[in-house]
Amino acid sequence: MLTLQDIRKSYGAIEVIKGINLDVADGEFIVFVGPSGCGKSTLLRMIAGLEPITSGDLVLDGYAMTTASPFERGVAMVFQSYALYPHMTVAQNLSYGLRVAGTKREEIALRVREVARSLQIDHLLGRLPKDLSGGQRQRVAIGRAIVRKPRIFLFDEPLSNLDAALRAQTRIEIARLQQQLKSTAIYVTHDQTEAMTLADRIVVLNKGHIEQIGTPLELYRTPQNMFVAGFIGSPKMNFLNVRAHGSEAGVHIREMGKAITLPFVGRGEADLTLGIRPEDLVLTPDGSGPFAFRLDIEEHMGEFRLLYLTADDGSQVIAKTTTQDSFAEGDILHFTFDPAAAHLFDADGRRLSRLNDKIAA
Q: How far is it, in rounded angstroms, from Cα 69 to Cα 79?
A: 18
Least separation in angstroms between residue 204's CB and ligand ADP is: 12
If one asks whether residue 80 binds Mg ion (CB under 5 A), the answer comes out as: no
Counting residues that bind ligand ADP (by CB under 6 A) gives 10
List the interface residues with Mg ion, window 54-73 (CB under 5 A): none
Q: How far is it, in rounded angstroms, from Cα 219 to Cα 211?
A: 11
Rg (CA), the chain: 25
Least separation in angstroms between residue 9's CB and ligand ADP is: 8
Q: Which residues contact 166 (CB under 8 A, 6 or more apart)?
A: 134, 135
| Residue closer to ligand ADP, measured from CB, 14 or 347 | 14
Least separation in angstroms between residue 39's CB and ligand ADP is: 4
Q: Residue 235, preceding bond cis, omega within 30 degrees?
A: yes
Q: How far is it, in rounded angstroms, from Cα 228 to Cα 220?
A: 9
| H helix count then E strand count, the chain | 10, 20
Counting residues that bind Mg ion (by CB under 5 A) gives 1
CB 93 within 8 A of CB 129: yes
Task: Identify what 273 binds: Mg ion, ligand ADP, none; CB under 5 to 8 Å per kind.
Answer: none
List the interface residues with ligand ADP, window 30-89 (CB under 6 A): 34, 36-42
| Residue closer to ligand ADP, measured from CB, 6 or 61 | 6
Q: For Mg ion, which residue of 2, 17, 33, 41 counts as binding (CB under 5 A)?
A: 41
Least separation in angstroms between residue 330's CB and ligand ADP is: 40
Least separation in angstroms between residue 33's CB and Mg ion is: 11
Q: Which residues contact 317 (CB under 8 A, 6 or more apart)?
A: 238, 240, 281, 293, 308, 309, 310, 311
Q: Where are the beta strands (DSSP E) in 126-278?
A: 152-156, 184-189, 201-206, 209-214, 238-247, 250-255, 258-262, 268-276
Q: For ligand ADP, which residue of 1, 16, 59, 213 counts as binding (CB under 6 A)?
A: 16
Binding positions for Mg ion, rule: CB under 5 A: 41
Interaction site with ligand ADP (CB under 6 A)? 11, 16, 34, 36-42
